[in-house]
Amino acid sequence: MKCLKIGALLFLIVACAPIRVNYDYDKTTAFSSYKTYNYYADMDTGLSELDTKRLLDAIDSTMTSKGLTLVENPDFFIDISSSEFQQQQRNTVGVGVGGGGGNVGGGISIGIPVGQAQVNRQITIDFVDENKKQLFWQAVTETKIAPNATPEKREALFNAVAQKVLASYPPEI
């Protein structure tokens, strides 16, 4: 019961952070021919080593549930890259001073930022057929991140990202 409560809490936390995903793919690809995958050995994810492991574990779990297998000589390779950026501040408080009399008026107003800037991470996942030397599927996801998140929250976030990203693989053509 305790695990269920923790799982529900983690799901709620992750559900509050929207994960936006954009997909693109080659319409001529026969997706049913791809049954095995692996990752590029020289992949630079832009994540910490621990976060990279969390993301790869989440992708492996989701790919296994879709019937795909991680092997040494795969049908396709996965390449992952990411970048972190701060979203512009949207919340401000305006302070103004003004005065006037007769037919003359004047004033000064400034906006003071409230709160902290939101940190977002964009993760790009490419599926590449090395035999054809061609990218055949791509997902670009963007989500808010908490730089000081606990390992459990990070794991839950990467699980949610992997599930959301791979929900539309293979695409319905």
In a domain, 26, yes or no: yes
Count of the separate structural domains present in the chain: 1
The answer to whether the beta carbons of residues 141 and 123 sit under 8 Å apart is yes
Angle at 100 between CA 96 and CA 106, to 5 degrees: 50
Per-residue pLDDT 10s for the chain (173 aa) are 555 454 444 444 444 458 899 999 999 999 999 999 999 999 999 999 999 999 999 999 999 999 999 999 999 999 999 998 776 555 565 555 556 666 665 666 666 565 556 778 999 999 999 999 999 999 999 998 887 889 999 999 999 999 999 998 988 86
In a domain, 29, yes or no: yes
Give the CATH number for residue 158: 3.30.160.670
The number of angstroms, rounded, from the C-alpha of 152 to the middle of its chain's C-alpha atoms is 17
Domain hosting 84: range is 19-88+111-166
Q: What H or E segment, with its residue span, contains residue 168? A: none
Residue 93 lies in a domain: no
pTM of the model as a whole: 0.73
Determine, yes or no, domain membership for 120: yes
Rounded to whole angstroms, the Cα distance separating 7 from 125 reads 26
User: Is 11 a member of any domain?
Assistant: no
Query: Is 153 within the bounds of a domain?
Result: yes
Residue 24 in any domain: the answer is yes
Is residue 33 domain-resident?
yes
Report which residue type is found at 55.
L
